[in-house]
Structure 1
Amino acid sequence: MHPLNSPSARPRLAFVTGGSGFVGGRLIGQLLDHGWTVRALARSAPSEARVRALGAAPVKGDLNDEQALREAMAGCEVVFHVAAHFKLWGKKALFDRANIDGTRNVVNAAAATASVRRVVAVSAAAVVMGDPEPMVDVDETLPLQRRAFAPYSSSKGEAERVLLGANQVRPDFETIALRPPFIWGDGMPTLDEMVETVHAGRWQWVDGGRQAMSSCHVDNLCEALILAADHGRGGEAYFVADAENTTLKGFISALLATRGVSVSDKAVPFGLAWTMAGLMGAAWRLLRLEGQPPITRQMLRLIGKPFTIATGKATTDLGFVPRTTMSMGLAAMRRASQPATSP
């Protein structure tokens, strides 16, 4: 039996950032199921209501207020840093402020809080992506990359450096990063955007969607986060993913099918898409257009080339086993999309 599930185990106190979001909300539920007591950072009244409904104690504040973070962490054993700015387009300063400065504030606050022994943060598999090229079965030996066209993954990479660089700033203080690829599951916000793009007639497969990809169901990620709280090695990063790899077209088509949406086979070569994305990005910046371009180089780097990861290190160190399969996750999404029926 896992020590967290022991009836005699004393409840443990965790602090979660991003608790009102897709991943953070699921993490709160899993922590509670494992016997933890949870506090969660909330920036707004709706966020407070959301985390309270999930069973966590909301703490008003944001990632920019280190003093508020310290007060919120008092008495907590583990900090789970989930909050991040994830967009496929935007100013570098916005990504850096939320992802790099926010992580620095969380780490500094945790290191200054005597009760906190470990910070476990959600990084991203994309931190090792450089120029667009196939990457198959990559592992943690690859260096972090930084590219001007990829402000999200570049900022996450720098945030990881900040996080792991703080490992053992106190002898009893450790920091760990988990690197999931494409995160999915019922309630995933990006699926709404995909459905809208298909309905607008703007969907095209890059290179026919044949590229291999790894994914990570949100429940598998949350389980890995909890395992890392006890079994991860301080100062280390871990790739975590589902047991099965798939292809972009096969996987995204299956996700859209849970909403009853089908996609045509219309496709565009990667090279043409990359050129179009560069031109669109230049136009958006020059003309200061609202919203984001229909296609961006950050998006193409994430999905446009084969990208699969190896999770052997997480298996060995954490005891990580991805229990939610592709079929299980898709079935749950189909059930969640069904209209409620009257009793």
Structure 2
Amino acid sequence: MKSLVTGATGFLGSAVMRCLLTANHQVRVLVRPDSDRKNLENFPVEITEGDLRDHQSLSRAIKGCDNLFHVAADYRLWVPDPETMHKINVDGTRALILAATEEGIKRIVYTSSVATLGLKQDGTPANEETPSNFSAIAGYYKRSKYLAEQMVKQLTDEHQLPLIIVNPSTPIGPGDIRPTPTGRIVLDTLMGRMPAYVNTGLNIAHVDDIAYGHLLAYQHGKPGERYILGGDNMTLLQILQTIDEINGTQKNRINIPIGLMLPMAWLMEKIASFTHTEPRATLDSIHMAKKLMFFSSDKAHRELGYQYRPSIEALKDAVKWFKENDYCN
């Protein structure tokens, strides 16, 4: 049983890779030539070089595989060139799935995002049926994932593909080498760079639980269905205070109204356009923060047997990993 995993050099993809190896899958990973391969070290995987923008490399990568776990995505909250993100997240996904279809792949698990889902106005957890629409989505990343998921659904229906969609919430834990935007929240809190907060909320889940959810979707998921893989719903203040508790520190933070953050984010984006470094806050991220991004994993629990550990364990493992790998120096 050979499975191709995309995005295995990254945070969630590497966790999926480890999970599949534990489940005795033979694993081939698609890796860009210039990728940091730290998350692949000492794991018995077959490496094939390619890029989601190089469609010929995708056909070579999928050849001889039984299953596909497409986890890779360009996950940034700010990009100088949105077209690059579209080519990876939308066009690359389409090319890869069509290549898998031609190869006669037995099972496909596509990693979407809760970013494609609607949110409830009253702050109660949204689910797979909560309506969403493109015009209400803030940010190039979220828009690209929404378009990609719509395209994946269409391909699944047209070709009767054995494809299951999973919608991870906010993964936290070890192996976040870049780190991701959420990992930066953990790291910035440890480094004392989070003196303020806005009234928003996230769904926090251990990266290894989300990875195991991918395996459960492969084993038990119904083609054409989507499943939220999440954890505990927490306000941003609760997240920051929990990290403080784990770190043995105590901070007093200022609550900043979202309206006051907008000009600050605008300035950071202007500076980033010259420095070509991702700003710590963006206009899109501030607009996203206007709502509580709370979700329910009840469907995945009911139909897949998905379970998740308490969010404090995810945050503990993330703090431990960042410290052990010298990110806090």
Q: TM-score, normalised by structure 2?
A: 0.85
CA contact 2:242–2:312 (8 Å) conserved in 1: no
Shift in CA distance, 108/40, structure 1 to aligned 2, threshold 3 Å: same
Counterpart of 2:297 in structure 1 is: 311
Aligned to 2:234: 246
Matching residue's letter, 2:214: L
Structure 1 residue identity aligned to 2:165: A
TM-score scaled by structure 1? Answer: 0.81
CA deviation after TM superposition for structure 1 residue 180, in Å: 1.6
Unaligned runs of 5+ in 2: none
Alignment of 1:29-48 (within 5 A): 29-44=18-33, 47=36
For residues 46-85 of structure 1, give each alpha carbon's deviation from its aligned partner in whole angstroms, at most 9, with x where no partner exists: 5567536322111111112222212221222211111111
Q: Distance in 2 between matches of 1:282 and 1:52?
A: 35
Structure-1 residue corresponding to 2:173: 185
Decide whether aligned partners of structure 1 residues 275 and 145 sit closer, same or farther in structure 2, where only a CA change above 3 A counts: farther
State the Cα distance separating 1:158 from its structure 2 match. 0.5
Q: Distance in 1 between matches of 2:288 and 2:190?
A: 19
Matches within 5 A, 1:100-179: 100-114=90-104, 116-129=105-118, 135-147=123-135, 149-171=138-160, 173-179=161-167
* Equivalent position of 2:48 in the other structure: 59
Q: Which residue of 1 aligns with 2:311?
A: 326
User: Which fold has the larger relative contact order, with Cα–Cα distance below 8 Å and residues 6 or more apart in sequence?
Assistant: 2
Shift of 1:170: 3.9
* Alpha-carbon distance between aligned partners in 2 of 1:180 and 1:254, rounded to the nearest angstrom: 21
Deviations 1:285-328 (A, max 9, x none): 9x755324442132224444222112222122222122x32243
CA distance in 2, matches of 1:262, 1:98: 41
Aligned to 1:195: 187
| Structure 2 partner of 1:9 | none
Aligned residues: CA RMSD? 2.9
Identify unmatched segments of 5+ residues in structure 1.
1-11
Partner of 2:281: 295
Partners of 1:178 and 1:240 within 8 A in 2: yes
Give the distance between the partners of 2:324 and 2:54, measured in 1 at CA. Answer: 41
Change (3 A) 1:178 1:299: same
- Report how far residue 248 of structure 1 moved: 1.4
2:85 pairs with 1:95: yes
CA distance in 1, matches of 2:318, 2:172: 10
Is the partner of 2:125 in helix, strand or coil? strand
The alignment partner of 1:40 has SS state of strand
**How far apart, in 1, do the equivalents of 2:26 and 2:165 lie?**
22
Alignment check: 8 A CA contact 1:146 1:154 kept? yes
Contact 1:124–1:181 (CA under 8 A) maintained in structure 2: yes
CA distance in 2, matches of 1:180, 1:104: 20
Partner of 2:253: 265
The alpha carbon displacement at 1:150 in A equals 0.9
SS at match of 2:165: strand
> Counterparts of 1:29 and 1:18 in 2: how far apart (Å)?
12
Distance 1:104 1:149 in 2: 23
CA distance in structure 1 between the partners assigned to 2:276 and 2:248 by the alignment:
30
- Aligned residue-pair number: 319
Matched, 1:205 2:197: yes
Counterpart of 1:28 in structure 2: which amino acid?
A: M
Deviations along 1:5-58, one digit per CA (max 9) or x if unpaired, are xxxxxxx21100001111111111110111111000011265567536322111
Distance in 2, matches of 1:289 and 1:149, equals: 23
Point out the structure with max Rg over C-alpha. Answer: 1
1:5 match: none
